[in-house]
Structure 1
């Protein structure tokens, strides 16, 4: 009798349409509330196989199968936020309870029922989701930061143009530098309630770290106490780089839980990063800018390894990246100790050994699980690094003993060649990072890693520059106001736009990626200002020496430093004098051409 009843029901017209009761309906809610999405099954259904809740286009919300609820099948966005009413399931009620409603929940939810013969579905559309009090507060902070940046930025630009430095101006500058950044930091932290880890950690860190660069680019930096001036001029870039890099590390590190071997490897990389961070800051403190730059590049390499840590073993990547770094290290050593005549002592040999050892360890760490050809290639590369490094030590020590026999013209040409090769290596290094990230990160969004590496590869060469003595007033003021006011405006507009667009469409736009190009533009403009100041200083010195009919040469003092020697020999040709003067002024910095 039951079999006959089932057949009658299945063959009855309209049964499929009435398998799920209820029509498509629309609901509204507010952020943070609980919402019930209705779905009831006809009580005559006897062979129920599966009930699924999905959010269009294709996000699994919850699965009921074989009389069990599989919560682990839910997408991470809805895990621990959805559940059935267990007591109502025997009655055919598969309504879904959605807890802690978020803006991105806006859209259409499908309840799909599967039997052994038919499939039917009904829809619930969340049409409108109102802002919570927390999100309204975020919008208020964005508006306040925007108004503060616009008002104080315009006012401070006019005052700085008049070269007015007073207590009132300093207070305005401190407020403009700190308050909008703090407002945006708080806004991004509050945004973490909705679980946007990348956006929260990285953007909030950038908001605070930018204060260091703003203090260094301040037009009235020389009015600050001498100890604070020195600290900002030497350590602002490595600190900025380290803080932003640590934020990127933390995002990748917290994704993995437990004490697996892969997690242990990440922990070791994290320890290495901390060591490179400390070494970079200490090198900058003792005005060893080139050494600080190399430690930052090692830091960058570790961050790159973290990004590719889950991908298959790729010895080719290691070989290319370590080779580029070793070339960069060798040319920087030649530039410092050969063409700048700085002493090459045991401390410098020890520091160079750290760089060589890091490149060799990077090669050796990838030997496990490779075939014989790849093993021999990496081992040969490692031995080659050591041999070349030892040869460089021998050459530098030999040249240090024969330093009085080197002419200034040879030193100038050699310095220029090293600077050119270093510039090429910096560009090649950045290009390799971007290419490998784009190629090998295929299981997760690579855009955040691309923009992050672009920013860090721009910041690292900035560590090579000393602070310009007399930068042009108008470009300097424009740059500083852009960093202090313009970037705060960009942050405010982007965060507010994200909230409004998400409330309207239910999807989260990646507007925060726009922040990185603007940060990169700010750092790049600062480097360009350094290059311009260095070129103007060199041009004026060449012009003055030609007008005086003198030739500039070099003499090395007892401490290894260099002093300018003016020769009044009228028999020297202007062309020869120009070459030697250029050799002198190339002492400005290798990063003059590395950008």
Structure 2
């Protein structure tokens, strides 16, 4: 119902970017809820279930990216008359970012391990293209975003080597660079918000896309704490639907009374709440990952302590003198060689002859 409400809202009022983003988020939340369901492990591993487990986040990123930024691109091409070089630069930026999102979606085995890096590179490329459309870009922030993006690309090339022995070090370094990229992007939004009236809405969409990108870096784990898992799932299944319905209803009532909108863009309210839902899921995944690492470390320490205790036991075993004496007597009772037996026989014969 919320999906239909936002579509009708966009058609009647002409807010296409807002209507597309809000309706797509409400519709694609179904895939995220299936992925986050506590009973998902009970469902047989069908091909559709595997796709939802692995690619639900990538599907949502691709749909929101294509739809939202395509609206801005269409308005730019129809309302203005850009020259050929501007069209070429913006088109290459959008095309490259879309290509990265599509490859991240279609990759499963070989390139599937690079899906997070692809999404993390695609988002700032779109931001820079959008900044070129609105003519709101400065050299220093362009350089900051470009440096962090190139750093993620460089780390992705080093990933096969790092996965062999320094897996956690690579993850920490990639996370630091990713946070620096987010800081550079939002610092850019903060400096240019007065030049673009749609900057708050674009900032909300970007924050939501970055939250989904962070979610794509985690595997689907089932060893989550039961009560927090159920709370997050119920918040997404019921709480978000109620909140979206109330927000749309209040906005329609206020507009009918005052004749103008109370909120400039509904994305500013809806997408942060959706991001809170995704952050709750990421927090559970991080908790499960930390518990796995803790259990592995504990098992390793227990094995080391067991081996050390066994070695210490063997070193402390007393050696009795009776055992050494028995071994000495056994050594004296060793069988003689054939030559020694022949010599002993001749000696006995000679002694008998003399007698």
TM range (shorter): 0.7 to 0.9
Where do 5+ consecutive residues of structure 1 fail to align? 1-182, 342-410, 552-567, 574-595
Q: Which has the higher contact order (CA 8 A, sep 6+)?
A: 2
Larger radius of gyration: 2
Task: Output aligned runs, 1:248-327, within 5 Å.
Answer: 248-258=68-78, 260-261=82-83, 262-283=86-107, 285-286=108-109, 288-309=111-132, 310-311=134-135, 314-327=138-151
Query: Which of the numbers 219, 232, 235 marks the counterpart of 2:55?
Result: 235
Once residues 98 and 140 of structure 2 are traced to their aligned partners in structure 1, the CA distance between those partners, rounded to angstroms, is 26
Matching residue of 1:532: 287
User: Does residue 1:194 correspond to 2:194, yes or no?
Assistant: no
Q: Tell me the number of residue pairs that the alignment of Structure 1 and Structure 2 aligns.
A: 302
Aligned to 1:84: none
Match of 1:521 in 2: 276
2:223 aligned residue (470, 479, 491): 470
Residue of structure 1 equivalent to 2:200: 447
**Distance in 1 between the 2:278 and 2:311 partners?**
42
Contact conserved, 2:251 with 2:262, CA < 8 A, in 1?
A: yes
Q: Provide the rounded CA distance (Å) in 2 between the counterparts of 1:215 and 1:236.
A: 9
Q: Any residues of structure 2 matched to 1:155-554 within 5 Å, and which?
A: 183-192=1-10, 193-226=12-45, 227-258=47-78, 260-261=82-83, 262-283=86-107, 285-286=108-109, 288-309=111-132, 310-311=134-135, 314-334=138-158, 336-341=159-164, 411=165, 414-445=166-197, 446-510=199-263, 512=266, 513-549=268-304
- Which residue in 1 is equivalent to 2:353? none
Runs (4+) off by over 6 Å: none
Q: Which has the higher strand share?
A: 1
Residues 330, 271 of structure 1: alpha-carbon distance in 2 compared, 3 angstrom cutoff = closer
Q: CA deviation at 1:450?
A: 1.4
Greater displacement, 316-325 / 473-482? 316-325
Distance 1:333 1:465 in 2: 20
Flag the 1:550–1:234 CA change in 2: closer, same or farther, 3 A. Answer: farther
3-state SS of paired residue (1:255) = helix
- Displacement of 1:572: 9.4
Question: 1:209-236: CA deviations, max 9, x gaps?
Answer: 2222111101111233312332112111
The 5 Å alignment of 1:121-140 reads none
Quick one: distance in 1 between partners of 2:41 and 2:253? Answer: 43
Q: Secondary structure at the match of 1:212?
A: helix
State the distance in 2 between where 1:333 and 1:572 align: 44
Cα separation, 1, equivalents of 2:65 and 2:87: 19
Q: How does 1:77-156 map to 2 (within 5 A)?
A: none
Instruction: Give the superposition deviation at 1:505.
Output: 1.9
Q: Cα distance 1:469–1:264, how it changes in 2: closer, same or farther (>3 A)?
A: same
Render the CA deviation track for 1:381-424: whole Å, top value 9, x for unaligned. Answer: xxxxxxxxxxxxxxxxxxxxxxxxxxxxxx4xx44443332222
| SS of alignment partner, residue 437 of structure 1 | helix
How far is the alpha carbon of 1:491 from its aligned partner? 0.9
Distance 1:502 1:279, change over 3 A: same
Question: What's the CA shift for 1:291?
Answer: 0.9
Cα RMSD (Å): 2.5
In the TM superposition, what whole-angstrom CA distance separates every residue of 1:257-305 from its partner, at most 9, and x where no partner exists?
457434454333332233112211122x227454111111222022202
- Structure 2 unaligned residues grouped into runs of 5+: 313-355
- Cα distance change, pair 231–502 in 1 and its aligned pair in 2 (3 A): same
Query: Which structure has more helix as a fraction of its residues?
Result: 2
Q: What secondary structure does 2:76 align onto?
A: coil
Normalising by structure 2, report the TM-score: 0.77
The normalised TM-score by structure 1 is 0.48
CA distance in 1: counterparts of 2:120 and 2:286, whole angstroms = 21
Q: 1:538 to 1:215 in 2, by over 3 A?
A: same
CA distance change for structure 1 residues 267 and 256 in 2, over 3 Å: closer, same or farther?
Answer: same
Q: 1:475 to 1:319 in 2, by over 3 A?
A: same
